[in-house]
Amino acid sequence: MPSEVDAVRLRGIGKRFPGVIANHDVDVTIRSGTVHALIGENGAGKSTLMKILYGVQKPDDGTIEINGNEVVLKSPTDAIDNGVGMVFQHFMLADNLTVLENMVLGAEKLHGIGDNARAEIRRISDRFGFELEPDVLVERLGVAARQRLEIAKVLYRGAKIIILDEPTAVLVPQEVDALFANLRELRSAGNSVLFISHKLDEVLAIADDITVMRRGTTVGTADPKTATKHELAELMVGSELPSPETGESTVTDVVELELHDVTLTDEFGRNLLSDISLAIHRGEILGIAGVEGNGQSELVEAIMGMHIPTSGRITLSGEDVTRWHTRKLREAGIGYIPEDRHRHGLLLDSPLWENRILGHQTEAPNVKGPWINRSGARKDTTRIVEEYDVRAPGIDTLARALSGGNQQKLIVGREMSGDPKLLIASHPTRGVDVGAQAAIWGHIKRARKAGLAVLLISADLDELIGLSDTIQVILRGRFVGTFEPSTVTPQDLGAAMTGGQTV
Amino acid sequence: MSTSTTTKNASPGLVQRLTKNWFYLTLVGIAVVSLVRIVTDTNDLDSAGTLRAAIISTCPILMAALGGLWAERAGVVNIGLEGQMILGTWGAAFFTYHYGPWVGILGAALLGMIGGLLHAVATVTFGVDHIVSGVAINLIGAGAATYLAEAVFSDYEGGGPRQLIGLDPPTIITKTPVISEAALDLADKHWFFVSDVASVVAALTTNISTLTFIIFGLVVASAWILWRTSFGLRLRSCGENPQAAETLGVNVYLYKYIAVLVSGALAGIGGGFLALVSSSGYGAGQTGGRGYIGLAAMIFGNWRPGGLLMGALTFGYTDSLRLRDTDAVHALLLLVALALLLIAALRAVRGQINGAIVMGVAGALVLAWFLLTDSVPREFTVMTPYVTTLFVLALGAQRLRMPAADGQQYRKGSAG
């Protein structure tokens, strides 16, 4: 029940980094025992604000009140002592440590590091259905399990104010529902939840109060009972939400990429992919839906030549490319937008024009004979920056300095140059803001119209349904259902993705 | 609940299984060595004398490796171990001259710790590249020791600008009643297996420095502290994911400092052992790259106490063999060949065919070398310890896994 005293009151918070004002004049009030949603585009300053509330960063201005007392949070320890816990967007887990070790780290005094802690973990796990085994290494856990571990970590510390930074980004609808059920339970137990998201449907479904941020400051509050998506979107970006709809079909009869019974086995003999067969025609977008970790990455890596299939055949434009290596495949005309742009798509500490060369280091305009063609690459980077609206101070800027959306636009521009025949897009709009999302969708649609075959993998089901010509659902390395985007609903897909009945 | 009882039983079960495995491995190892000794008729292969020399040769490397373990588990690459060791040799000599050997050991640790402090300030506080800082510390350590020796030791009795000899060593157990003599007698019989075990017992009970036991104790203590206490968990978390540790309220800087200071102190003790036990005084250039070898032993030992112990022992053993008896080096070829073939067989059983083939071929080649020659050229004898250690560890170590954030710069507030 909401009590008299507000759980958290942030007043006039400001935070400056060299050259950037991350937050200014931020006011947020979280009533006790409520789920409070904080929404805003990427780069609106939500994450910085959360880090301030969790004591990771110190605010330059403003005051923080928790349960009516003004506090100074110098470190996460202070925040934890004040009952604030946080689940980060990028999980804060050490892969090489066990679930137990990750859980008790920093909170060893509560239940020790031995059997008492083990029992407590099981208690929390059983109570919320987290299914956590204390002695398993975290590297063996899937994304959803890691998130459950993160939430369990916060509960283990007895937090009463729980911050969740974009918790639904990696979940399927059913899992989101399960998470929301947990959040409601937490709320009824008297906890306050701060829920950060830019998915407006979810926000409207779960939140009791909404605060909107834009460009580093709070621009308004809304009541989820009366507010509509459009009003919220306008508050967030000052414009309407883009839609991924593609319009009429451009699918041709020419098969560009074909997979025949591709099976991939890992070193322990487990099947990562089982008998995958698919065909993508020119001008077709094939969408792959699935809970993360069900073989999507392996499928992409098999096509890209990073793993050679154990059995089966892959053909590109009628040519057998099963055993080709990655560079040859790229030269043959495959563009690739990797799922994790920080790990696979970019050199974060290199300038944009060097990143332009990556993956195309054997093609014009990047090379002249055996040497790098510096001026050619730079000129072409300028072209990409302009055509794809990459907002950067210049092509000598380090990739790290760009926002996620602009990094992604640079990658899309790079992969679309050199006339690819096939585009593999893994989560192309993950973690990018609404504006960049619309731009990237536009580029994919244009590519489709120009006759490209596109393999689209996404966790955003609206995106899949909107863009794809056909949707395949993958579960445990197998295709378990084919859907027609014009008739399918996210709920149908979600059911198939989790192994429920295929409609 | 049934689930919790099974895990409770599982954890001691695991320990038991592992120790059992180690126990059997040791038995098989002794049997193989014994076999080679008898086949090649080189009794020096595992005589008490050789083993004693091996232990003395092992200890400094072991300390350097353990120092490396502490630092790297907290995410700091410490290639300054060599420099810290050099500082340790000087510290041991200086403090022993004035206050006796035990204070000398503490002095060695202190000087090593000063080297560690430098490294910590540079890498943790100022974010200097760990390799750059480590190289600088090696240069500073060598330079400082040379300067200090010239400035201080020249006027001492038994001292000169490059040395200080005639220092008291820490307590030596010259003879353990009954056991020493019985073991030596038994070892001299050169029976299969029994004499070899007796050799080990004799080496461990006769003419051995108490510091040796302390050093092996430090390895066990480190393993326990790092893997069985919450302090160790926090320290290791700084090497795996410092951002995560920070969000959970771990003072990452503090733990990194502690780790690097301990690392320096251990390397210093290694230097102290060189000055007081391996020889009877300080000498310039005494460390001879043992800091680097320790680091290598730690890496091939997969950042694990058991692994680095194996690495240090392999090196120490082959080093002592080279110095004592060049014939024995030839016998060592057979030993290495058998070890490689054994590992190959093990891999084949586990179904790792490629690994098995590589090891098998390597083993066969070494075996052919042994069968076709009578002795190993002198040039090769000198590098035996290096080659053998590299060979055994590089081929024996599977899937090296260093701490995930090892060597990376970490800034407070970078979480999230």
Strand pairing of B159-160 and B163-165? antiparallel
Q: Is A378 on the interface with B (CB under 8 A)?
A: no
Closest residue in A to B9 (Cα–Cα): A115
Residues B270, B69: contact at Cβ < 8 Å?
A: no
pLDDT at A299: 93
Locus of tokens 């490629």: B354
SS3 sequence of chain B: CHHHHHHHHHHHHHHHHHHHHHHHHHHHHHHHHHHHHHHHCCHHHHCHHHHHHHHHHHHHHHHHHHHHHHHHHCCCCCCCHHHHHHHHHHHHHHHHHHHCHHHHHHHHHHHHHHHHHHHHHHHHHCCCCHHHHHHHHHHHHHHHHHHHHHHHHCCCCCEECCEEECCCCCCEECCCCCHHHHHHHHHHCCCCCHHHHHHHHHHHHCCEEHHHHHHHHHHHHHHHHHHHCHHHHHHHHHHHCHHHHHHCCCCHHHHHHHHHHHHHHHHHHHHHHHHHHHCCEEECCCCCCHHHHHHHHHHHCCCCHHHHHHHHHHHHHHHHHHHHCHHHHHHHHHHHHHHHHHHHHHHHHHCCHHHHHHHHHHHHHHHHHHHHCCCCCHHHHHHHHHHHHHHHHHHHCCCCCCCCCCCCCCCCCCCC
Q: Is A182 on the interface with B (CB under 8 A)?
A: no
pLDDT at A288: 93
Distant-in-sequence, close-in-space partners of A423: CB < 8 Å, separation ≥ 6: A334, A335, A336, A337, A415, A416, A444, A447, A452, A453, A454, A455
Average pLDDT over residues B182-196: 86
Query: Residues of A with CB below 8 A from B14's CB?
Result: none
Query: Residues of A with CB below 8 A from B235's CB?
Result: none
Q: Is A76 on the interface with B (CB under 8 A)?
A: yes
Closest residue in B to A111 (Cα–Cα): B230
Query: Residues of B with CB below 8 A from A134's CB?
Result: 7
Query: Residues of A with CB below 8 A from B230's CB?
Result: 104, 108-109, 112-113
Best mutation target among A58, A105, A157 (most B Cβ atoms within 10 Å) is: A105
Locus of tokens 């040859």: A328
CB contact under 8 A, A76 and B249: yes
pLDDT at B84: 97
pLDDT digits (tens, 9 = 90+) for B159-176: 888 889 888 888 888 888
**Which of A54, A96, A106 shows the shortest C-beta gap to B401?**
A96
Q: Hey, which bits of A166-208 come out as E strands? A: 192-197
Number of other CB atoms surrounding residue A1 within 10 Å: 8
**Which of B4, B247, B403 shows the shortest C-beta gap to A92?**
B247
pLDDT at B415: 58
Number of other CB atoms surrounding residue A29 within 10 Å: 15
Closest residue in A to B230 (Cα–Cα): A108
Report which DSSP code applies to A140: G
Buried b (16+ CB within 10 A) or exposed e, A381-391: beebbeebebe
Report which DSSP code applies to A240: P
> CA-to-CA distance for B203 and B57, rounded, in angstroms?
13
Query: Which of A484-488, B135-139, B410-414 shows the lowest mean pLDDT across its residues?
Result: B410-414
Q: Is the domain covering B41-171+207-318 a CATH 3.40.630 domain?
A: no
Closest residue in B to A114 (Cα–Cα): B228
**Residue B384: is its pLDDT beyond 90?**
no
Dihedral-angle region of residue A25 (phi above 0 means left; psi in -120 to 50 means alpha; beta otherwise): left
CB contact under 8 A, B413 and A57: yes
**Residue B31: is its pLDDT beyond 70?**
yes
CB contact under 8 A, A102 and B7: no
Closest residue in A to B242 (Cα–Cα): A94
**Which of A57, A113, A119 shows the shortest C-beta gap to B233?**
A113
Query: Nearest CA to CA, how far is A398 from chain B (Å)?
Result: 18
Residue ranges matching CATH 3.40.50.300 in chain A: 8-237, 242-333+419-503
Q: Is the domain covering A242-333+419-503 a CATH 1.20.810.10 domain?
A: no
> CA-to-CA distance for B281 and A363, rounded, in angstroms?
64
> CA-to-CA distance for A285 and A457, rounded, in angstroms?
10
Walk across the sheet containing B281-283 and list its strands: B159-160, B163-165, B281-283
**Which of B8, B240, B249 shows the shortest C-beta gap to A75?**
B249
Quick one: pLDDT band at residue B182, thresholds 50, 70, 90?
confident
> CA-to-CA distance for A98 and B345, rounded, in angstroms?
32
**Which of A94, A102, A122 shows the shortest C-beta gap to B4?**
A122
CATH of domain A8-237: 3.40.50.300
**Which of A47, A88, A89 shows the shortest C-beta gap to B247?**
A88
Each residue's pLDDT, cut to its tens digit, for chain A (503 residues) gives 445 688 899 999 988 876 667 888 899 999 988 999 998 876 678 888 888 998 888 899 899 999 988 999 888 888 888 989 988 877 889 988 999 999 999 888 888 888 899 999 998 888 777 788 899 999 888 777 888 899 888 888 888 899 998 888 767 777 788 788 888 888 887 889 998 887 778 888 889 999 988 878 888 888 888 888 777 877 776 555 556 666 677 888 889 999 999 999 887 777 889 999 999 999 999 999 987 778 888 999 999 998 889 999 999 998 999 889 898 999 899 999 998 888 888 998 889 999 999 888 888 788 888 888 889 999 999 999 998 888 888 888 888 888 778 888 999 999 988 788 999 999 888 777 777 888 889 899 888 888 899 999 988 788 888 889 999 999 888 898 899 888 888 888 888 887 764 44
List C-alpha distances in Å: B36 to A287, A332, B55, B323, B328: 64, 58, 21, 19, 10
Query: Nearest CA to CA, how far is A433 from chain B (Å)?
Result: 18
**How is chain B split into domains, by residue range?**
41-171+207-318, 325-397
**Which of B250, B404, B416 shows the shortest C-beta gap to A96?**
B404
Average pLDDT over residues B17-45: 80
Closest residue in B to A154 (Cα–Cα): B248
Average pLDDT over residues B385-406: 76
**Which of B233, B249, B415 shows the shortest C-beta gap to A77?**
B249
Residues B259, B73: contact at Cβ < 8 Å?
A: yes
**Among the ranges A89-93, A153-157, B142-146, B245-249, which has the highest mean pLDDT value?**
B142-146
Q: Is A140 on the interface with B (CB under 8 A)?
A: no
Q: Is A108 on the interface with B (CB under 8 A)?
A: yes
Locus of tokens 């970078």: B414
Locus of tokens 């410490």: B78
Number of other CB atoms surrounding residue A119 within 10 Å: 14
Distant-in-sequence, close-in-space partners of A202: CB < 8 Å, separation ≥ 6: A168, A176, A180
Mean pLDDT estimate for chain B? 87
pLDDT at A4: 66
Q: Is A57 on the interface with B (CB under 8 A)?
A: yes
Residues A292, A459: contact at Cβ < 8 Å?
A: yes
> CA-to-CA distance for A76 and B27, rounded, in angstroms?
51
CB contact under 8 A, B413 and A56: yes
Query: Residues of B with CB below 8 A from A112's CB?
Result: 230
Q: Is A96 on the interface with B (CB under 8 A)?
A: yes
Residues A246, A443: contact at Cβ < 8 Å?
A: no
pLDDT at A300: 92
**Residue B1: is its pLDDT beyond 60?**
no
**Which of A80, A92, A108 shows the shortest C-beta gap to B244?**
A92
Expressed in angstroms, the distance from the first to the final Cα of chain B is 37
Query: Element (H or E) spanning A182, and its range?
Result: helix A173-188
> What would the two tokens of residue A113 be?
């590091």
Query: Nearest CA to CA, how far is A93 from chain B (Å)?
Result: 6
> What would the two tokens of residue B405 be?
């954030």
Look up residue A490 and give its amino acid. P
Over the Cα atoms of chain A, what is R_g?
24
Quick one: pLDDT band at residue B398, thresholds 50, 70, 90?
low
Locus of tokens 């407070």: B412
- Higher-pLDDT residue of B60 and A95 is B60
Closest residue in A to B352 (Cα–Cα): A267
Query: Element (H or E) spanning A24, and its range?
Result: strand A20-30
Helix, coil or strand: residue A194? strand
CB contact under 8 A, B3 and A135: no
Walk across the sheet containing A271-281 and list its strands: A271-281, A255-265, A311-316, A319-320
Residue B253 burial (CB < 10 Å; 0-12/13-18/19+)? middle
SS3 sequence of B41-94: CCHHHHCHHHHHHHHHHHHHHHHHHHHHHHHHHCCCCCCCHHHHHHHHHHHHHH
Residues B38, B235: contact at Cβ < 8 Å?
A: no
pLDDT at B12: 46
Query: Nearest CA to CA, how far is B290 from chain A (Å)?
Result: 29
Dihedral-angle region of residue A451 (phi above 0 means left; psi in -120 to 50 means alpha; beta otherwise): left
Query: Which of B136-140, B178-182, B282-286 shows the lowest mean pLDDT across its residues?
Result: B178-182
Residue contacts between A and B (CB atoms, under 8 Å): 96
